[in-house]
Amino acid sequence: MKVTPWKEFTKGGKPHRIRARYGIDYHFARRNNQAPYLSITGEIERRAGSRWVEDAGGALHEAIARHFPELARYIKWHLVGTAGPMHYIDNAKYWWELYNGTSEFTLRPNGPNPHDAFMHTVVAEEHEVPPRDTPWASVKGWLEERLEHLLDEWRADMEDLEVLE
C-alpha cells in the first residue's frame, strides 16, 4: 500500500493533518481467497497540545479529494478489483430494489440515498443507467454486459496509479 505524506490544515480553528493510504493489497486477497481490490482510505489527526491524536479514519473520500486532488479521479474505484466492484450484482440488486420500492428491506432513517448508493456501487454515470422502473432482470443484464468495459477502465486507471502487480 502507498501512503501520502501528511498535509496539515485548519478545521474549526484547530490544527489537523491528513494522509491517504491507497493501493491493492494482494497479500490480503490471497490470504483470504478473494479477488484483490483497490482501497483508498484516509487518516485525520488533530493537534492536542504537543501531540497528534486520532480524529477520523476510513473512507474519507471528500477530504482525500480536497487535500490530495491527484487521487480524486481514482476514488470512484474504491472497492473495485480484478473481478469488478465488490459484490457487484448483489449490492446493485439491493440498492436498485430499494430505489424502486420493490425491496423486502427497509432503508434505515438517515441512510444513504438508494439511487446514489446504486450509482456508487456500480461505478456509473447518470446517463448510463437504465430508467428507474426497469425490471431487475434487465438491470442485471445491463450490469453483466458492461462489466468487461468497466474493468478495462479500472485497469487503465490502476496502471496510471501504479498499483498493479
DSSP 61-80: HHHHHHH-HHHHTTGGGTTE
pTM reported for the whole predicted model: 0.91
For residue 1, what pLDDT is reported?
93
Q: Which residue has the cell 500500500?
A: 1
Closest Cα partner for 46 from 19, 68, 14? 14
Q: Which residue has the cell 502507498?
A: 2
For residue 108, what pLDDT is reported?
87
Torsion angle defined by CA atoms of residues 36, 38, 128 and 149, in that order, rounded to the nearest 10 degrees: -50
Q: What percent of the chain has pLDDT over 90?
A: 97
For residue 157, what pLDDT is reported?
98
pLDDT of 68 above 90: yes
Residue 22 · residue 1 · CB < 8 Å: yes
For residue 73, what pLDDT is reported?
97
pLDDT of 33 above 90: yes
Find the helix or strand (DSSP H, E) in which 8 lies.
strand 7-11
Displacement of CA 30 from its chain's centroid (Å): 21
Residue 35 · residue 21 · CB < 8 Å: no
**Mean pLDDT value of segment 13-31:** 96
State the number of CA atoms in the 13 A half-sphere of 58 facing the CB.
2
pLDDT classification of 156: cutoffs 50, 70, 90: very high
Q: Crossing angle of helices 114-122/88-100, nearest 10°?
A: 160
Question: pLDDT tens digits, residue range 85-139?
Answer: 999 999 999 999 999 999 999 988 899 999 999 999 999 999 999 999 999 999 9
